[in-house]
Amino acid sequence: MNDRFTSFGVGQVTDSYGVTQADRQRVMRNTYWLLALSLLPTVLGAWIGVSTGITRGLGGVVGMVVFMAGAFGFMYAIEKTKNSATGVPVLLGFTFFMGLMLSRMISMVLGFKNGPDLVMTAFAGTAGVFLVMASVASVIKRDLSGMNKWLFVGVLVLLVGSVINMFVGSSAGMMVISVLSIGIFSAYMLYDLKQIIDGGETNYISATLSLYLDLFNIFQSLLSLLGIMGGERD
């Protein structure tokens, strides 16, 4: 039986999730607008962090605890407010916090002679991954919902590996983690985009949060990788 059917009463085509094409397009459109808007607080937070050096001392275990506590606290608040008018400001507050946390790595990369070029390369690379995944998600017909559990396991492996490497301090280990992170979150981005296209995600705030985390992790991993491999000291 075809999993697409006509909804009697309104005469609109819905999918297996019971979501009309118009609703899916609305969620996608609002998600893209909010995702673009969310980058502004991120840039502001990163700029403040780099300018003031406020996050310079947040390294090692202390930095990870502050980051995890802040990130999960904001994500909990976003989940609770995603269906209200408060959801958007909370999400934007979260992206400001993430930019602030990212500023420590950006400051380290900017310490290289070619630091600004590395930052722009990481940004361009992240934008390129997004364009590729968005294009693939728009044409692929296969149901990707089964990817979720495997990608979640991959993220847990990355988290454990990051904690271990934080104590080991291996550059090679960081490179491996960065490469794996780029691969896993690129796949997650494809999954998240396909969920929106198929009607599996109908809340644009939740959709924006998912895509933002994908972009953030890809950018951070690219920046780390470029800093290790291509950083030029004076």
Asked whether the predicted pLDDT for residue 29 surpasses 90, the reply is: yes
For 179, other C-beta atoms within 10 Å of its C-beta total 14
Other Cβ atoms closer than 10 A to 151? 17
> Which pLDDT score is estimated for 4?
34
At 214-223, the pLDDT tens digits run 999 999 999 9
- Nearest to 49, CA basis, from 75, 67, 61, 36: 67
Distances (CA, A) of 88 to 29, 45, 71, 93, 107: 15, 17, 16, 9, 28
Domain ranges of the chain: 22-229
Overall size of the chain counted in residues: 234
Does the pTM of the predicted model rise above 0.85?
Answer: yes
* Residue that the structure tokens 């939740």 belong to: 206
| Model pLDDT for residues 192-215, shown as the tens digit of each residue | 999 998 888 889 999 999 999 999
What mean pLDDT do residues 110-118 have? Answer: 89
The DSSP secondary-structure symbol of 112 reads S
Name residue, tokens 């364009």. 131
Inform me whether the pLDDT recorded for 87 exceeds 60: yes
Mean of all residue pLDDT scores within the chain:
86
